[in-house]
Structure 1
């Protein structure tokens, strides 16, 4: 089955085409400046169609899989898309205002262009629907949960769902018996506690803002700071912009690009050194806590852009995990590669791994499985 995987942003559309039988990546690309050079997502699909005719040499797309960030409490697995599903994605937009509206626009644009092709929505939050209530509950009035759905959801689930079994297989452990702490580290970053192959806790919460220090997001802060600032005249939009776009590494180091921050730190820039220290310390604390949560991790796993490529940041984190008996192999840590690899020493009490993620492959496989298992086509829009 040829699956077109789409990750729709408000002003961009990333895509890949994969053959799920051969697991071959046939083509990938980015269409950006939507709303500027390209009027809207429908026009972007016209451009994509032109590219695919050229790049696929006449082969036809069998299905389309969409990454959808927030599935709320309703969606615990990928679903075949129909109009009611799209409306549900749109209703969840207040929980992911930068992502869900764009996903819905992408789905509608695909339907307008290729109305007979089945589409599947794959949700970032779905993997974390196994969280026990003690992990997803906030200590807030119950009415906030019942009326507004305020609870911890977790994100990067598609990545965790791909990496957890891959790490287990690498270690020769049955995935359904695997206990691990996995850190998905990119511009957005989170960490998950995996027990028996399932998520039992994760650092992101109601939105992707909670948890680790990220590129431009603050991660955990004292909620009273926001109350204090509101009383000083900061409105909701200003606070939202500050927390999501002007905080994190950007606030500490003056920029959000990890490679640039590491270079500046190596050159002696104290702000950059502090930014790395704060981010690494926050992650090390979470790893220690989640080691306890899973009943003793069988592995600590790094994945995603920073997790896979930044040996320096991994070193800053693992050097703080000595009380867990984890010891880094400096040479292995600096090695590069696209395969899963061990970065700890043979005598390390817990192995530390780098396992590359492939969210697009996971979305393609989920899409193929849903379409193959459906007994009837998606309802018309």
Structure 2
């Protein structure tokens, strides 16, 4: 049977949409939103009706009738820790938590809301697949060093697992048979230890943990951060924005663009070169810590995400690791296909739908 699947992946200033016939992509588009249009809405959640109409306009333009769509799939947002990876049915409780931003505000929260808004009037199923809050980490990895504060799992689950499965298939293995370190390099960086189908340790890509990235600080020295917070110069929200949005390369170089930084290096900008090397060094330290946490029993290191297209940056990483650990690079991401395949696996009964926990 052929299923028509609509995939929705909201970003801060755009909404990616794709139409699949089973696992065959037949239409994909990034629907960009003007900043002035978004400024009309006090919160991200207030953009729901606006973005829904943009998607409906896309369907009309390309002559897709919503009633002919079999399933709607949205990117998962900031939810409670979910102990099982896979495809989740969008429930009323999930909708309530996302609308109230109970676990944080992020554009990805709109993914489930949009899928639900489009599916419910048509009595069609609406799913999310491997949201960022999937939490498979082992208890020992939760210990932070201070009672009452635990390390949590918040990372690029969707792309990390999709690329890990893709790599396993390419070498004739099952994902569940391998132990891999997967580094997702985007605007934020997350590095996960995948062991026999579970991500048993990973840095929190949203909350100031792990290596710094183009837009995020990663882990900072504690005392100077405390002094900054109590300086009286910044509000709580301003500090959070510094850590995730205005940190990393943005704070050092004024840009998160790998292309711009590459051009600056080619023009002789030593500062740009230094901080790009420093970012690679931080990624190497994160990979190295997981390598030894796995006792060196690693089947490979996978590097993926948008910043993996920066060959200079990848070369810096390989310079440290290539003689010790095999490294495979999958530039970019394929989240749209991963979302579609998650839904298709449920529709074809390869996997069971997860209704709740």
Deviation at 1:126, TM superposition (A): 5.1
Deviation at 1:229, TM superposition (A): 1.2
Q: Does the CA-based 8 Å contact 1:26-1:56 persist in structure 2?
A: no
Identify if the C-alpha distance between structure 1 residues 363 and 132 changes in structure 2 by more than 3 Å, giving closer, same or farther.
Answer: same
Aligned to 1:341: none
Identify if the C-alpha distance between structure 1 residues 375 and 244 changes in structure 2 by more than 3 Å, giving closer, same or farther.
Answer: closer
Identify if the C-alpha distance between structure 1 residues 107 and 139 changes in structure 2 by more than 3 Å, giving closer, same or farther.
Answer: farther
Tell me whether 26-35 or 223-232 shows the greater mean CA deviation: 26-35
TM-score (norm 1): 0.80
Alpha-carbon separation, structure 2, partners of 1:364 and 1:315? 33
Identify if the C-alpha distance between structure 1 residues 161 and 262 changes in structure 2 by more than 3 Å, giving closer, same or farther.
Answer: same
Q: Which runs of 5+ in 2 are unaligned?
A: none
Tell me whether 310-319 or 10-19 shows the greater mean CA deviation: 10-19
Deviation at 1:94, TM superposition (A): 4.9
Deviation at 1:115, TM superposition (A): 4.1
Tell me whether 29-38 or 298-307 shows the greater mean CA deviation: 29-38
Q: Does the CA-based 8 Å contact 1:182-1:301 persist in structure 2?
A: yes
Identify if the C-alpha distance between structure 1 residues 192 and 263 changes in structure 2 by more than 3 Å, giving closer, same or farther.
Answer: same
Aligned to 2:284: 284
1:35 lines up with 2:35 in the alignment: no
Q: For 1:116-195, what aligned pairs fall within 5 Å after superposition?
A: 116-125=123-132, 127=134, 129-142=135-148, 151-195=151-195
Pairwise CA RMSD = 2.8
Deviations 1:254-285 (A, max 9, x none): 21101111221222212201210110100111
Q: For 1:1-381, what aligned pairs fall within 5 Å after superposition?
A: 1-9=3-11, 11-20=13-22, 22-33=23-34, 34-35=37-38, 40-56=47-63, 60-74=68-82, 76=84, 77-90=86-99, 93-99=101-107, 101-103=109-111, 105-107=113-115, 109-111=117-119, 114-125=121-132, 127=134, 129-142=135-148, 151-204=151-204, 207-233=206-232, 234-295=234-295, 296-307=297-308, 309-321=309-321, 326-327=322-323, 350-356=325-331, 357-371=333-347
Identify if the C-alpha distance between structure 1 residues 46 and 294 changes in structure 2 by more than 3 Å, giving closer, same or farther.
Answer: same
Deviation at 1:228, TM superposition (A): 0.7
Helix, strand or coil: the match of 1:355? strand
Q: Does the CA-based 8 Å contact 1:63-1:368 persist in structure 2?
A: no
Deviation at 1:184, TM superposition (A): 0.8
Deviation at 1:163, TM superposition (A): 0.9
Deviation at 1:363, TM superposition (A): 0.9
Deviation at 1:208, TM superposition (A): 4.8
Deviation at 1:239, TM superposition (A): 0.9
Q: Does the CA-based 8 Å contact 1:67-1:121 persist in structure 2?
A: yes
Deviations 1:91-117 (A, max 9, x none): 5x25431235434543454257x4422
Helix, strand or coil: the match of 1:211? coil
